[in-house]
Amino acid sequence: MREIKFRAWDKEINKYRKDGQIQLGSDGQPFVLFASQFGNLVVEEIVNVIIELYTGLKDKNGVEIYEGDICTAEAWSDDCFHEVVFADCAFCTKTDGVDYCNDMTLFMCSKYEHSSLTIIGNIHDNPELLKGTQ
């Protein structure tokens, strides 16, 4: 069974929130749970975050692969960097604005195909990697 994890990009502070800071409600809405100065538990909804789901796989260097990651692969014939996306009920890659979910670049169908992937950044910290390919 695949481990369900996610990370959250905070658009206000332009960085990822630390693990455990953000939780997801049953409706999918992110929130933070904290103790107030009076000792009460307070739930604060978070609206300026982008939730990125963990694929359940790691690249060839053992780095966890999330939506929004930018990767390359030894097996691909193109020289483009690819963004990891969730589309058509599967994790796949996108480059040049095209989802490759029905193509050979679909790497989540096989636990072996991802072994040649290398995560080189993400769409928030390294958007320049995708310049000219989107």
Question: Residue 91's domain is classified under what CATH number?
Answer: 2.30.30.290
Question: Encoding tokens for residue 90?
Answer: 């599967």
Domain that holds residue 32: 6-49
Q: Is the pLDDT of residue 119 over 80?
A: yes
Both 124 and 74 in one domain: the answer is: yes
Per-residue pLDDT tens for 71-91? 887 766 666 788 888 776 677
Q: Which residue has the tokens 């769409």?
A: 123
CB 116 within 8 A of CB 82: no
Are 84 and 65 in contact by the 8 Å Cβ rule? The answer is: yes
User: Is 43 a domain residue?
Assistant: yes
- Count of domains observed in the chain: 2
Radius of gyration of the chain (CA): 17
Same domain, residue pair 81 and 36: no
**71 part of a folded domain:** yes
Q: What is the pLDDT of residues 2-60, one digit of tens each?
A: 678 888 898 988 999 876 677 888 888 888 877 788 888 888 888 888 999 888 888 88
Global pTM value: 0.76
Q: Which two tokens stand for residue 38?
A: 């009076």
Q: What confidence category does residue 122 fall into, taking pLDDT thresholds of 50, 70 and 90?
A: very high
Given 32, 49, 66, the domain boundary residue is: 49
Number of H helices, E strands in the chain: 0, 12
Report yes or no on 1 lying in a domain. no
